[in-house]
């Protein structure tokens, strides 16, 4: 695996995470540069995306690089039966860096073992979404002024939501207290609860989206229809939570609501005008964080 790959958030040390967040702040202050002139980045999206793909591609364009790739694998030779192995081998002939989203857990790790290029995981199944986590951390730092000792409430599909899995692991550096709010069918998987025990992280589990007075960050998630084997089960749980503006009465002034987006009903539109709603700014932060991650992967950030 190329040492510059970012497959799991655990590939980055705490120091590296903080270095990326510092660099993101520098890119936010000055996003247009020519540092990637002559570089080609491949964005391979085997699964749909709006924010991740477009913010990666904007990041590359604003740094003066060029993008190749696809947003629908049905238009590639994958539809003729070409394997992921062979696709990665081919693209490695053309590009300097690969950004990949894939529906299978572990696909990014596999690609990193096949290719000599750095691989950036843009989401693999219900496993990891490390660049989302870095933009989440950047958003938390910007809104709270610290990453330390925060009460993080994670709400919704904690079983299949790769963003909460990556965020939980990253926050382990910063002494969080977690509240997991999910129906029994979508609970935080055992492996992540074990991770909390092993790392001395306090957590509690709740079923109801109420009593939000202690929360610093309310991290809402969508129920991930595409991960369900049984669509009847999806129908039973899909509308389990809907955050409404009135539910924010009595919450901290400093509370901020994050959501990786897209939302499909778990945040009422009446929340959008509340100053505690931060999800659209959060998505914008993704541009700067991805500029930092790409620059690091291509060896253009000092360690
Ligand atoms: N947050 C996120 O991954 O959004 P997209 O699926 O639109 O990329």
Output the residue whose Cα is nearest ligand 1's atom 4: 51
Tokens of 19: 């270095």
CA separation for the pair 136, 158 (Å, rounded): 16
Asked if pLDDT for residue 302 goes beyond 80, the answer is no
CA separation for the pair 147, 14 (Å, rounded): 11
CA separation for the pair 10, 155 (Å, rounded): 23
Please enumerate in sequence order all residues whose Cβ is within 8 A of that of 285, keeping only pairs 6 or more positions apart, or say none.
Answer: 24, 28, 135, 138, 139, 142
User: How many angstroms separate the alpha carbon of residue 272 from the centre of ligand 1?
Assistant: 19
The predicted structure's pLDDT at residue 235 = 84
Asked if pLDDT for residue 15 goes beyond 70, the answer is yes
- Which residues line the pocket of ligand 1, CB cutoff 6 A? 49-52, 123, 132, 260-262
Output the residue whose Cα is nearest ligand 1's atom 3: 52
The predicted structure's pLDDT at residue 238 = 87
Q: What is the best residue among 50, 102, 124 to mutate for testing ligand 1's pocket, by most ligand atoms within 8 Å of CB?
A: 50
Residue 24, SS3 per DSSP: helix
Concatenate the DSSP letters of all residues of 139-186 into one string: HHHHHHS-SSS-EEEEES-TTT-HHHHHHHHHHGGG--EEEEE--GGG
- Helix, strand, coil tally for the chain in percent (to 5): 45, 15, 40
The predicted structure's pLDDT at residue 287 = 98
Q: To the nearest whole number, what is the mean pLDDT of the chain? A: 96
| Average pLDDT of the segment spanning 56-75 | 97
Asked if pLDDT for residue 31 goes beyond 80, the answer is yes
Q: 184 has which bridge partners?
A: none
The angle subtended at Cα 246 by Cα 147 and Cα 278, nearest 5°, is 35
Q: What is the best residue among 108, 123, 221 to mutate for testing ligand 1's pocket, by most ligand atoms within 8 Å of CB?
A: 123
CA separation for the pair 237, 272 (Å, rounded): 24
| Average pLDDT of the segment spanning 119-139 | 96
Q: Which DSSP symbol is given to 277? A: B
The predicted structure's pLDDT at residue 208 = 97
Q: Are 285 and 244 in contact (CB under 8 A)?
A: no
CA separation for the pair 157, 238 (Å, rounded): 9
The predicted structure's pLDDT at residue 233 = 85
The residue with tokens 């992967």 is 297
How many residues does this entry show for the chain? 303
pTM over 0.75: yes
Q: 151 has which bridge partners?
A: 177
Q: What is the best residue among 48, 51, 132 to mutate for testing ligand 1's pocket, by most ligand atoms within 8 Å of CB?
A: 51
The residue with tokens 């930092």 is 292
Beta carbons within 10 angstroms of residue 71's beta carbon: 17
> Exposed (0-12), middle (13-18) or buried (19+): which is 15, by Cβ within 10 Å?
exposed
User: pLDDT of 189-234, one tens digit each?
Assistant: 999 999 999 999 999 999 999 999 999 999 999 998 888 888 888 8
User: How many angstroms separate the alpha carbon of residue 281 from the centre of ligand 1?
Assistant: 14
The predicted structure's pLDDT at residue 1 = 84
| Average pLDDT of the segment spanning 134-149 | 98
The predicted structure's pLDDT at residue 303 = 66
Map out the domains of the chain with their CATH numbers.
Answer: 9-128+286-297 (3.40.50.1370), 130-283 (3.40.50.1370)
CA separation for the pair 227, 238 (Å, rounded): 12
User: pLDDT of 80-94, one tens digit each?
Assistant: 999 999 999 999 999
The predicted structure's pLDDT at residue 225 = 85
């Amino acid at each position: 695996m190329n040492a510059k790959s970012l497959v799991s958030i655990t590939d980055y040390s705490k120091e590296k995470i903080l270095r990326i967040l510092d660099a993101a702040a520098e890119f936010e202050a000055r996003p247009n540069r020519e540092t990637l002139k002559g570089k080609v980045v491949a964005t391979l999206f085997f699964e749909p995306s709006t924010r991740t793909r477009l913010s990666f591609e904007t990041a590359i364009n604003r740094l003066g690089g060029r993008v190749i790739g696809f947003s629908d694998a049905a238009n590639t030779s994958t539809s003729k039966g070409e394997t992921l192995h062979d696709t990665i081998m081919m693209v490695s002939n053309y590009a300097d860096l690969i950004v990949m989203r894939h529906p299978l857990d572990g696909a990014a790790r596999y690609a990193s073992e096949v290719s000599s290029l750095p691989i950036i995981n843009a989401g693999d199944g219900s496993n990891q979404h490390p660049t989302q986590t870095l933009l989440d951390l950047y958003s938390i730092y910007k809104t709270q002024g610290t990453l330390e000792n925060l009460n993080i409430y994670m709400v919704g599909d904690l079983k299949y939501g790769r963003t909460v899995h990556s965020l939980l692991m990253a926050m382990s550096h910063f002494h969080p207290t977690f509240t997991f709010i999910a129906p029994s069918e979508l609970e935080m998987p055992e492996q992540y609860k074990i991770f909390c025990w092993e790392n001395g992280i306090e957590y509690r589990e709740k079923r109801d989206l109420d009593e939000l007075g202690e929360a610093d960050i309310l991290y809402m998630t969508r129920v991930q229809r595409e991960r369900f084997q049984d669509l009847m089960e999806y129908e039973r749980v899909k509308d389990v939570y809907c955050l409404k503006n009135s539910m924010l009465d009595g919450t901290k002034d400093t509370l901020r609501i994050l959501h990786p987006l897209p939302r499909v009903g778990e945040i009422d539109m009446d929340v959008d005008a509340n100053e505690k709603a931060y999800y659209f700014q959060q998505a914008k932060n993704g541009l700067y964080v991805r500029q930092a991650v790409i620059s690091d992967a291509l060896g253009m950030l000092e360690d």
